[in-house]
Amino acid sequence: MFYKSPPPKPSYSAGGYSAHRVPLELHDINRRRLCDRLKQRQDVPEGAVVFLEGGKSQPRHSGDTEDLFRQESYYHWAFGVLEPDSYGAIEVDTGRSIVFLPELHESYEIWMGKIQPPEHYVEKYVVDEVHFYKEEDDAKIVEVLKSKNPSVLLRLKGMNTDSKKTSKPAQFKGIDQFNLNDTTLHPEITELRVYKSEREIDVIRAACAIAGEAHKAVMRMARPGNYEYHLESVFRGTVSHHGCRHLAYTPIVASGPNSAVLHYGHAGAPNDRQIDDGDLVLCDMGGEYYCYASDITCTFPISGKFTPEQRVIFDAVSDANLQLRTRTRIGTSWVENHRLALRIILTHLRDYGMLKGEVDDMMKVHLGAVFMPHGLGHFLGVDVHDVGGYGQGMTRIDEPSFCNLRTVRTLEKNMVVTVEPGCYFIDKLMDEALANPDQRDFINGEVFEKFRGFGGIRLEDVVAVGFFAAELFSLLPRKAAEVEDFMANAKLRQP
């Protein structure tokens, strides 16, 4: 007897044997979570409709070349629509979803491909309705929304606590004919993005697996004499091969003294130094799969072996990384995790002889901020620095290093965070510490000065918060012996 298999559920896949398949119910789950949350608010009346605007296609300056489009993050979270210039609506009472796409000119078929009917997009994105609108008048959007008789359109407007930029509420010709609310939606949808669904966690896990393999590929091929951008190109090629068309952020490949520059790799310092024998190389790179980010940092010796000084600093950061990964569990304070990371690094530096005195006293004068000025990590999701780090009523701590924390929350289930302790020797901070009477008495100047030009070390992993422990998404060598063994084995396999 033969049984007919059930039809496959709609899904996204970048293609290829290794590409992760994303069930598009991910977005239906997100929309229903949002509706359930909004229904609990007394200020959201019956008949309310969430109305979001997707990202716009943008030409490169005054030219006719467009940069590769990437969807606006809140819109992707709710709808998963890949095309630019679209709108989406969600009826709060019923959860019904509507997508508006621009009506394409017939010449589109010559240059861009087949023009599909609305039914194609209903099936592609698993929404209830799709309508085409003319970009010059938007009358179709007004017509469809009026047929739903919404009591209010809930639009997205609010500040991202990392970028300090404000989400712009959806706009179209005729929107002033509707009752608008720009205050309710942003805090609610932002809070939901803090807690990932199981479907979202699956995608992040896949993105991190791809990025982890790309970092290993970089370590395998890295040699003295390479330029930093050679390592970047290996990473880009590997993640692209596995379905990540976008990177999650500008890649950092920082060798030698550049590894002390926290956000190296920007346009003014474009990963263009030649790597010398004996250098450390800090690689902070991540790919995006289906708009979900990965963010991993590895630091390794280009020669394959750490010098004694490099080993001391690496061990300090490795110890902090491994301890803090195990503490990333429900009920743990992120602030206290950060504090512990600073203490671990200071303890190693004291035991080495660079510092002297009691670690408790060093903490009182914020000596840890000299070596690790950034926060321990951040939320990760549709954005690499995902939203919601500072919810309503939460404030930043006005202390060195702690002021750069991207969240002060207590960890809860299904949060996804990075754990990225580091230790750097930054001339400006070294000079300030030596000039600070509260800090310099803890410093052994002779040893301290030997580390000028050393650079820095960071180890970053992605973990999901669970009931009893964190799930680690990035499986890479994290102890000094593991790094050296990995690179030695890689060299043996080279032709």
DSSP per residue, 8-21: PPPEEE--STTPPE
Q: Give every CB contact of residue 323 below 8 A, 6+ residues apart in sequence.
A: 340, 344
Per-residue pLDDT at 4: 42
Closest CA to 354 of 481, 452, 261, 437: 452
Residue with tokens 């970053």: 460
| Residue 202 exposed, middle or buried by CB count within 10 Å (0-12, 13-18, 19+) | middle
Closest CA to 141 of 185, 82, 87: 87
Per-residue pLDDT at 330: 96
Phi-psi region of 225 (alpha: psi -120 to 50; beta: other; left: phi over 0): left
Per-residue pLDDT at 135: 82
**Taking a C-beta distance cutoff of 8 angstroms, is the pair 199, 22 a contact?**
yes
Q: What CA–CA distance (Å, rounded) separates 190 from 195?
A: 9
Residue with tokens 């309508």: 131
Q: What CA–CA distance (Å, rounded) separates 232 from 241?
A: 14
Q: What are phi and psi of 340, to 5 degrees?
A: -65, -40
**pLDDT by 10-residue block (mean), the chain, 495 residues:** 52 74 96 98 97 95 92 98 97 98 94 96 97 91 97 97 93 96 98 97 97 97 97 98 96 98 97 98 98 98 97 98 95 97 98 98 98 98 98 95 97 97 98 98 98 98 89 95 95 62
Per-residue pLDDT at 495: 53
